[in-house]
Amino acid sequence: MQAAIFKGEGNLVLTDNHPKPELTAPDQVLIRVTGVGICGTDLHILQVPPAHPARIGIVEGHEFTGVVETLGEGVSGFRVGESVLIDPHPGCGVCDECRRQRPDRCIPLLASSGEPGHPGTIGIFSDGAMAEYVVVPQRSLYKVDQSVPSHIAALAEPLACVINASEKLKVQPGEFVVVLGAGPIGLLFTALLRANGASKLIVSEPSEYRRNAAGEVGADIVVHPDDLAETMATEMPGGADVAVEAVGPLLPLAIGLVGAGGRVLQFGHDETVNPAVPVADLLKKEVTIYGAFIGRYTFDTAARIMASGKLPLDKIVSHQLPLSKVHEGLDLLREGKGLKIVLRPGE
């Protein structure tokens, strides 16, 4: 089958004769992949030097959806031919962290990556979905309304992560929100926090292409970062209630943007940066900083949002390409000419 393999040092190799995976345990499911998104994390993995670790030799692709092809003999509750959402970092469900509602800290999942603090995500530390078929454990599967198209269902993982983060912020109607970055994650935050009731929402983004998308998913004001300070002075003179960092190195800026008692969320993930925190500003304003990483039992919520059609998720998918064009998709993202790019293996 066709597959895109991470070979290390910025090298993703597309091959047409990767072996089709087979079930090796009774709780496994063979999925025929119908959509796999290219994530900023895939770009980080392929950066030189890498901004995110990954296991050399694995098939990339952790944001995916597909159709059940074969069920292991121990699997129940799903049927062959059913479209499903797939959590690429499922907790084991029984370790101490999972039992404390922290599947993101699942002890065996963290141990399986071999990288401290990183869960053994499918598509980063084991074979993922930039391929025609992938094998996943049953506990990765979530039901979804069968009318949800596959390019939308492929957003389940980033949406689940953004839901988890947004649940911490608890944005209320009437609040002022700033989102830094209008990549797919920044756009998902914009759409979700708009739905939460933010009464004024500013998005800051250098790419004109992405600024236009931010306006389409619910931003009131979209600015180039060079103009952000001036816009804040007129539109939110007392500072924002909430600032979302969806870029990587901008935590100091985000702290500066909120007013007294403001909340800041660090979501952008770039392990090559370690910005200095403006401590005096932080404590004088009594700012609360949240960090958020992956989803915590939020795929069911993502499935409901998708089925409702109430978020403009289709505006976040800019391209659907055959898997054979994975390098074209990566280049579009590097050049800021794409939002979420969904690859379609088998087409």
We find the least distance from the C-beta atom of residue 228 to Zn ion, in angstroms, to be 26
Close Cβ partners of 214 (under 8 Å, ≥ 6 residues apart): 179, 182, 186, 187, 190, 203, 205, 222
Instruction: Give me the catalytic one of 15, 24, 34, 41.
Output: 41
Q: Is 52 a catalytic residue?
A: no
Closer of 98 and 192 to Zn ion (Cβ) = 98
- Residue 89 or 344: the one with the smaller Cβ distance to Zn ion is 89
Contact 111, 5 (CB under 8 A): no
- Rounded to a whole number of angstroms, the minimum distance from the CB of residue 291 to Zn ion is 16
Choose between 98 and 154: whose C-beta lies nearer to Zn ion: 98
Task: Supply the minimum distance, in Å, between the C-beta of residue 79 and Zn ion.
Answer: 27
**In this structure, are residues 120 and 89 in contact, taking their beta carbons and an 8 Å threshold?**
yes
DSSP 27: T
DSSP state of 39: P
Q: Which is nearer to Zn ion, 41 or 112 (CB)?
A: 41
**What residue spans of 73-179 are helical by DSSP H?**
96-99, 107-113, 150-153, 156-169
Residue with smaller CB distance to Zn ion, 94 or 273:
94
How far apart are CB 87 and Zn ion at their closest, in Å?
A: 12
Positions in the binding site for Zn ion (CB under 5 A) = 39, 41, 63, 91-92, 95, 98, 106
Q: What does the alpha-carbon distance between residue 239 and residue 224 come to, in Å, rounded to a whole number?
A: 18
Spatial CA neighbour of 89 closest among 344, 339, 295: 295
Shortest reach from residue 265's CB to Zn ion, in Å: 17
CB of 210 to Zn ion, least distance (A): 17
Whether 62 is catalytic: no
Please say which residue, 87 or 175, places its beta carbon nearer to Zn ion. Answer: 87
CB of 94 to Zn ion, least distance (A): 6
Set 44, 52, 269, 319: catalytic member: 44
Q: Pick the closer one to Zn ion by CB: 91 or 239.
A: 91
Pairing mode of beta strands 28-38, 133-137: antiparallel
Catalytic residue numbers, as ranges: 41, 44
